[in-house]
């Protein structure tokens, strides 16, 4: 996250910057000592995500600055307030601030507020990604309608469409997931599934061997296997975020109804929805995912699409 601080107190700006950097909340990309020195172009070229701005400054105060910048600034605004006037704070909220912190600086308060704002930014980004994913799906469906009946797609192509539906087509782990369903399809065609679904470790090992080629050591295979597992788990967790975000926006959404309980345990989805609803500062620490279930469903769903359209 990129931060910009506007405050006439140099010491306060320095202390706030220190907290942001020490806690690894992001990077302070600019400072100004008065609202009159701040403009939309400066915020845009610095890709500012979060703007700190003092409510009282000598030339142009925070409210006047926000009123001027609001039409063009898409980031979040945290007001810095030394006064406790409900009227002033209410006016600031009416012009678009998201939170405010009080002076003198309280490190715990700053960390808590900033993390909430960051989580809100990520949630909104997740929702935007969902809308983008939906647009991509509609485009894919249009292409599918024009696809010649004689043309035969690979299982990975149907898998890619499902990953797009799940909101993770562009994630690093999506390639690993496609390699996994391709391996599972070849495995079932050659050996069948009478012995049951292969264990995840064997699947990860197989796609790691294929990726490394002919020359490799056991240490390289193990390192790649662990990396692949981490990428896949991150991708699955991101998909969980997408599904939970859809559920919060529209619980009756057909995509949510079709995929959420199919790819994830219901309690897991509900827990993540509660975390997002509360703008929790936790990430994946308390939300456990069932990677094996996700991969199994992705494979069987992709296989069904393949068989229905060939």
Percent of the chain at pLDDT > 70 equals 85
Q: How confident is the model at residue 137 (pLDDT cuts 50, 70, 90)?
A: low
The predicted model gives 248-269 an average pLDDT of 84
pLDDT tens-place string over residues 218-242: 888 899 999 999 999 999 998 998 8
* Residues found in the chain: 310
pLDDT at 186 over 60: yes
What is the Cα gyration radius of the chain?
24
Question: Taking the CB of residue 290, how many other CB atoms lie within 10 A of it?
Answer: 14
Residue 227 has a pLDDT of 92
pTM: 0.51
Please give the structure tokens belonging to residue 94: 């009416």
pLDDT tens-place string over residues 60-77: 888 889 888 888 888 899
d(CA 310, CA 307): 5
Residue 279 has a pLDDT of 55
For the chain, list the domains and their CATH numbers.
2-105 (3.40.50.2300), 125-308 (no CATH)
Residue 138 has a pLDDT of 53
pLDDT at 1 over 50: yes
173 or 152: which leads in pLDDT: 173
Residue 309 has a pLDDT of 67
246 or 6: which leads in pLDDT: 6
Residue 146 has a pLDDT of 45
How would you write the chain as a 3-class SS string?
CEEEEECCCHHHHHHHHHHHHHCCCCEEEEEECCHHHCCHHHHHHCCCCEEEEECCCCCCCHHHHHHHHCCCCCCEEEEEECCCCHHHHHHHHHCCCCEEEECCCCHHHHHHHHHHHHHHHHHHHHHHHHHHHHHHHHHHHHHHHHCCCCCCCCHHHHHHHHHHHCCCCCCCHHHHHHHHHHHHHHHHHHHCCCCCCCCHHHHHHHHHHHHHCCCCCHHHHHHHHHHHHHHHHHHHHHHHHHHHHHHHHCCCCHHHHHHHHHHCCHHHHHHHHHHHHCCCCCCCCCCCCCHHHHHHHHHHHHHHHHHHCC
Residue 122 has a pLDDT of 81
Residue 147 has a pLDDT of 43
Q: How confident is the model at residue 171 (pLDDT cuts 50, 70, 90)?
A: confident
pLDDT tens-place string over residues 145-169: 544 443 457 899 999 889 988 888 8
Q: How confident is the model at residue 286 (pLDDT cuts 50, 70, 90)?
A: low
pLDDT at 19 over 90: yes
Residue 99 has a pLDDT of 84
Q: Please provide the average confidence, as pLDDT, over all residues in the chain.
A: 83
For the ranges 11-15, 29-33, 283-287, 301-305, which has the lowest average pLDDT?
Answer: 283-287
* Most confident among 177-181, 272-276, 280-284 (mean pLDDT): 177-181
**DSSP bridge partners of 2:** 27
């Amino acid at each position: 996250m990129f931060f910009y601080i506007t405050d006439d107190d140099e010491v306060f700006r320095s202390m706030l910057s220190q907290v942001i950097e020490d806690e690894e909340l992001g990077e302070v990309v600019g400072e100004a000592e008065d609202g009159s020195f701040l403009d939309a172009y400066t915020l845009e070229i610095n890709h500012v995500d979060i703007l700190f701005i003092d409510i009282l400054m000598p030339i142009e105060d925070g409210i006047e600055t926000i009123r001027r910048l609001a039409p063009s600034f898409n980031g979040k605004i945290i007001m810095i307030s030394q006064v406790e006037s409900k009227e002033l704070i209410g006016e600031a909220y009416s012009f678009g601030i998201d939170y405010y912190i009080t002076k003198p600086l309280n490190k715990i308060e700053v960390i808590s507020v900033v993390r909430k704002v960051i989580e809100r930014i990520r949630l909104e980004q997740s929702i935007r990604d969902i809308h983008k994913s939906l647009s991509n799906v509609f485009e894919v469906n249009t292409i599918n309608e024009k696809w010649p009946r004689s043309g035969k797609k690979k299982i990975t192509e149907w898998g890619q469409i499902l990953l797009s539906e799940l909101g993770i087509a562009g994630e690093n782990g999506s390639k690993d997931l496609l390699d996994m369903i391709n391996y599972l399809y070849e495995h079932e065609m050659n050996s069948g599934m009478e012995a049951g679904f292969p264990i995840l470790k064997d699947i990860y090992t197989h796609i790691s061997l294929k990726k490394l080629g002919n020359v490799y050591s056991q240490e390289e295979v193990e390192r790649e296997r662990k990396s692949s597992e981490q990428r896949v788990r991150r991708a699955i967790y991101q998909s969980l975020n997408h599904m939970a975000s859809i559920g919060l926006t529209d619980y009756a959404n057909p995509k949510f109804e079709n995929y959420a309980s199919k790819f994830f345990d219901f309690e897991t989805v509900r827990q993540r929805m509660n975390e997002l609803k509360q703008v929790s500062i936790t990430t994946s620490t308390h939300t456990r995912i069932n990677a094996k279930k996700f991969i199994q469903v992705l494979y069987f769903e992709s296989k069904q699409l393949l068989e229905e359209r060939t």
